[in-house]
Amino acid sequence: MTTKSDVLRVEAETLLRIAGSELEAYHLLQHQLSVLVMRTQVMLSLSGIVITVTGFSGRAIAQTSPMARACIAAGIAVVLLAAVTAIFGVLRLRWLSQVLGPDPLKNIIAGLEVRNRKSRYLGLALLLFATGFAFYVIAIIQLLLHVPVPPPAG
């Protein structure tokens, strides 16, 4: 039976072998962490857009129906939760050099553990964002489908 630590060890050994040196393997890990940060920043930018649009249009959407009101409230709350998850799970700063020790293999394994933890947080943040955005879109659809009944003539 293969454990997570076995998988990490094999990945670390492969990374060291392919990179040719501990320094190059460290650079590859830094690049992978940079990719996580860039993807997180894109999600945070999209979250900012959702929050901004809600500030401009939220009231009109919420006045459409109780369901639209619930969806826009849930959507904005879940998008905010996604942003907080991304900020504290991915963007929380801890330098790779803080986990370095004398053993190159253990150093790469420690870096891979950091990468994997941040990847899980990003995955959760993206799932939350997609869920919140779906609520938001349902509220907008309600607004678009809402046809106000004109008052009786008279």
List, for residues 26-47, the tens digit of each pLDDT value. 999 999 999 999 999 999 999 9
In a domain, 61, yes or no: yes
In a domain, 87, yes or no: yes
In a domain, 36, yes or no: yes
Q: What is the pLDDT of residue 45?
A: 96
Q: What is the pLDDT of residues 9-29, one digit of tens each?
A: 999 999 999 999 999 999 999
In a domain, 151, yes or no: no
User: What is the sign, positive or negative, of the torsion defined by CA atoms of 58, 75, 130, 94?
Assistant: positive
CA dist list (Å): 7 to 21, 112, 116: 20, 10, 12
Q: What is the pLDDT of residue 28?
A: 94
In a domain, 154, yes or no: no
DSSP string, the chain: ---HHHHHHHHHHHHHHHHSSHHHHHHHHHHHHHHHHHHHHHHHHHHHHHHHHHHHHHHHHHTT-HHHHHHHHHHHHHHHHHHHHHHHHTSS---GGGG--S-HHHHHHHHHHHHHHHHHHHHHHHHHHHHHHHHHHHHHHHHHH--PPPPPP-
Token pair listed for 55: 């500030």
Is the pTM of the predicted complex or chain greater than 0.75? yes
CA distance 30 to 107: 13
Structural domain span for residue 131? 4-145
In a domain, 152, yes or no: no
Q: Which segments of the chain have a pLDDT < 50?
A: none
Q: What is the pLDDT of residue 154?
A: 64
In a domain, 83, yes or no: yes
Question: Exposed, middle or buried: residue 64 (CB in 10 Å: 0-12, 13-18, 19+)?
Answer: buried
CA distance 82 to 88: 10
Domain tally, the chain: 1
